[in-house]
């Protein structure tokens, strides 16, 4: 019996994973990786930390956990996989089942026959629509060579940097450059940072934090051009002025590399990426595709979604490796789970945001909950802010966003698990999570958020977000803002407005008569646990127009007086 000929086009994440998995399942298969570059299986997500200096050499991005370099020799000796690097896959002849290739170094053309073909062609950085993007000193960050170029620019004495795009890469590289002593300006066309991941009220806390670390943030700003002197970048020109920079990072997104697939007549999905089924087969059952070149299915909505992530690419690789060797593994879709670090802030998002629900017409309810990441009395406690989103009719958990110096990642992971199994907020609050003071509070903050939504669904809790309260202040609405913190807290820091009345929670029952019954009363405290209690106390006293401000002053993204 002839061996199964498996050809993989693309040697970064999904491709090598598929090849390695296929080899473990079929020791006799002929497996070939075709890669246009020189470097294989590199950890692209580690590049900002290489720029920062946390990782000493670029080679560390291509090493196994045991210290072996994942180069062509490694794949040949350890995986028995033949690697054709610096080789371009020019076209696919589906009738003859061959890949037509050309050597980038010699120009020599050849053909590689296949029984099963894997497309792992990845994504390319979006080319900006403004002039000057090809000047010296303007970078993208899609390859270790890009990271090395940025490090050289920093070492050569660059003092000012501009980052175009306040997404994931923009946030991580901003920290890397500030750590190296550069003055950094982040320019974002949309009104808030990481707009694809976070709702504006959550993103505002991240923006405030990076500004406190010395980053200049220009949101709602459109880049018009990049200027240079003698072909070297000197400034970014925006609709709000000139930003001086000797180093510019363009990080406005990526687009799937689908030319090979289009030329081969394979079906492209509505997102512009390659359409695949649950087995990660393309419209040609002999050709599979995975990684950043394919679209996925959103596990909540069932709709196509394009979310290029290294974690997804590796999971694709395992499924493909199974299926090109006779298996029938399914890829169930994605939740768009993303976590990252911005200075000493941790940031995460999974599932649907409030903005997503609005766009897709999904009835929803949210909870905005700040609090400690572990027992409030434990010495290493740090704050986090969570925004939980659930379906209005059923309480089904739809999404979570989290920011803060505390541990947000484990809350994101718990939420991802809950969403994957269709849990509702009561299921979430009933989970038997691990508790000890160094790790969490007795009732974890994520479960507090679930309880807030449950209280809303049963009609007990009535609330406004800080953004809604600020909007009502700005338009001059007539209502009472009732601060129920202690006198000491009030004197240390306060929301100064003519609507604010201060009555400590412990005095509220005896002083309730001081409050008007014909105006709406919005209660708040530091995190609004006492604000919620105040709402219930006043309702018990016969007040009918009462709500609390979610998250209290800890979630207030605007300046406060001290």
Give per-residue pLDDT as tens, 458-471: 999 999 999 999 99
Q: What pLDDT score does 561 carry?
A: 78
Domains identified in the chain, total number: 4
Residue 136: φ, ψ to 5°: -65, 135
Same domain assignment for residues 178 and 235:
yes
CATH number reported for the structural domain that contains residue 522 in this entry: 3.40.250.10
Rounded CA Rg of the chain: 27
DSSP designation for 281:
B
Does a structural domain hold residue 408?
yes
Average model confidence (pLDDT) across the chain: 95
Residues 146 and 218 grouped into a single domain: yes
How does residue 40 score in pLDDT terms, banded at 50, 70 and 90?
confident
Last residue of a domain, one of 407, 442, 457: 457
Report d(CA 181, CA 521) in Å as an integer: 48
Confidence of residue 74 (pLDDT cuts 50, 70, 90): confident
Q: Residue 335 domain-assigned?
A: no
User: Which ranges of 332-444 does DSSP label H, i.e. alpha helix?
Assistant: 354-360, 409-420, 425-430
Residue 478 scores a pLDDT above 90: yes
pLDDT tens digits, 235-279? 999 999 999 999 999 999 999 999 999 999 999 999 999 999 999
Same domain, 9 and 91: yes
Residues recorded for the chain: 562
Pick the last residue of a domain from 457, 481, 499: 457
Residue 331 lies in a domain: no
Whether pLDDT at 562 is above 90: no
> Which distant-in-sequence residues (6+ apart) come within 8 Å of 490 by Cβ?
483, 502
Q: 24 and 56 in one domain?
A: yes
Quickly tell me which residue has 């993007």 as its tokens.
133
Residues with Cβ < 8 Å from 72, sequence gap 6 or more?
40, 83, 85
Active site residues: 45
Could you tell me the pLDDT band of residue 377, with boundaries at 50, 70 and 90?
A: very high
* Long-range pairs, 61-67, Cβ under 8 A, ≥24: 61/144, 62/144
Rounded mean pLDDT, 147-154 = 94
pLDDT at 32: 97
Please give the share of the chain, as a percent, with pLDDT higher than 70: 100
The pLDDT, as a whole number, for residue 70 is: 85
Instruction: Looking at the structure, tell me whether residues 32 and 119 fall in a common domain.
Output: yes
Is the domain of 11 the same as that of 119? yes
My answer on whether 142 and 206 are in the same domain is yes
Give the confidence band of 66 by pLDDT, cuts at 50, 70, 90: confident
Q: Are residues 452 and 496 in the same domain?
A: no
pLDDT attached to residue 57: 86
The predicted pLDDT at position 277 comes to 98
Is a pLDDT exceeding 80 seen at residue 1? no
For residue 215, pLDDT over 80 is answered with yes
Closest C-alpha among 429, 469, 458 to residue 365? 458
Q: How far apart are CA 417 and CA 337, in angstroms?
A: 11
Looking at 234, 252, 270, the residue that finishes a domain is 252
Asked if pLDDT for residue 112 goes beyond 90, the answer is: yes
pLDDT at 384 over 90: yes
Average pLDDT for 57-72 = 83
**Would you call 88 helix, strand, or coil by DSSP?**
strand
Q: What is the CATH number of the domain that holds 302?
A: 3.50.50.60
d(CA 213, CA 182): 12
Per-residue pLDDT at 106 exceeds 90: yes
Q: Are residues 210 and 309 in the same domain?
A: no
Q: Are residues 452 and 379 in the same domain?
A: yes
Q: Is residue 523 part of a domain?
A: yes
Alpha-carbon torsion angle 410, 411, 414, 417, nearest 10: -100
* Structural domain includes residue 231: yes
The SS3 of residue 118 is: strand
Same structural domain, 156 and 196: yes
Quote the domain boundaries for residue 503: 463-555
Q: How confident is the model at residue 293 (pLDDT cuts 50, 70, 90)?
A: very high
Say yes or no: 453 and 350 in one domain. Answer: yes
Q: 391-410 pLDDT, tens per residue?
A: 999 999 999 999 999 999 99
């Amino acid at each position: 019996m002839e061996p199964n000929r498996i050809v993989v086009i693309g040697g970064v994440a999904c491709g090598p994973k598929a090849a390695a998995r296929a080899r473990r399942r079929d020791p006799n298969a002929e497996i070939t990786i075709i890669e246009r570059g020189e470097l294989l299986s590199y950890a692209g997500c580690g590049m900002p930390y290489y720029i920062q200096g946390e990782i000493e050499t670029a080679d560390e991005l291509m090493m196994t956990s045991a210290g072996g370099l994942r180069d062509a020799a490694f794949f040949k000796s350890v995986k028995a996989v033949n690697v054709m690097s610096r080789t371009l896959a020019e076209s696919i002849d589906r009738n003859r089942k061959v890949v037509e290739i050309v050597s980038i170094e010699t120009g020599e053309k050849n053909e590689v026959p296949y029984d099963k073909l894997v497309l792992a062609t990845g994504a390319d950085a979006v080319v900006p629509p403004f002039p000057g993007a090809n000047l010296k000193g303007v970078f993208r960050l899609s390859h270790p060579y890009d990271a090395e170029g940025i490090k050289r620019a920093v070492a050569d004495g660059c003092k000012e940097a501009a980052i175009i795009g306040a997404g994931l890469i923009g946030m991580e590289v901003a920290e890397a450059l500030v750590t190296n002593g550069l003055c950094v300006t982040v320019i974002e066309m949309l009104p808030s940072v990481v707009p694809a991941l976070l709702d504006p009220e959550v993103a505002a806390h991240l923006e405030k934090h990076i500004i406190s670390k010395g980053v200049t943030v220009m949101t709602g700003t459109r880049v018009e051009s990049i200027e240079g002197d003698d072909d070297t970048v000197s400034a970014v020109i925006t609709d709000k002025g000139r930003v001086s920079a000797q180093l510019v990072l363009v990080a406005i997104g990526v687009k799937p590399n689908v030319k090979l697939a289009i030329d081969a007549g394979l079906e492209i999905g509505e997102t512009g990426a390659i359409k695949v089924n649950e087995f990660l087969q393309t419209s040609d059952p002999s050709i599979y595709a995975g990684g950043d070149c394919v679209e996925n299915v959103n596990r909540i909505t069932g709709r196509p979604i394009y979310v290029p992530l290294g974690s997804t690419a590796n999971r694709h690789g395992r499924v493909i490796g199974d299926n090109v060797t006779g298996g029938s593994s399914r890829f169930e879709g994605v939740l768009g789970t993303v976590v990252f670090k911005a200075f000493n802030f941790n940031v995460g998002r999974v599932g649907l945001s409030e903005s997503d629900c609005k766009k897709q017409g999904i009835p929803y309810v949210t909870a905005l909950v700040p609090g400690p990441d572990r027992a409030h009395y434990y010495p290493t406690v740090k704050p986090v802010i969570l925004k939980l989103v659930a379906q209005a009719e059923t309480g089904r958990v739809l999404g979570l966003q989290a920011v803060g110096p505390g541990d947000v990642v484990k809350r994101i992971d718990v939420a991802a698990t809950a969403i994957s199994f269709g849990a509702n907020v009561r299921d979430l609050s009933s989970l038997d999570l691990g508790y000890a003071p160094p790790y969490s509070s007795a009732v974890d903050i994520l479960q507090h958020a679930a309880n807030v939504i449950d209280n809303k669904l049963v009609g007990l809790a009535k609330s406004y977000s800080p953004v809604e309260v600020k909007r009502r202040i700005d338009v001059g609405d007539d209502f009472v803002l009732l601060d129920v913190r202690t006198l000491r807290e009030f004197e240390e820091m306060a929301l100064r407005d003519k609507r604010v009345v201060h009555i400590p929670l412990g005095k509220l029952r005896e002083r309730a008569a001081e409050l008007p019954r014909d105006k709406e009363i919005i209660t708040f405290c530091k995190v609004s646990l006492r604000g919620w209690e105040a709402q219930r106390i006043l309702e018990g006293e016969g007040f009918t127009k009462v709500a609390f401000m979610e998250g209290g002053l800890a979630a207030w993204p605007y300046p406060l007086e001290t």
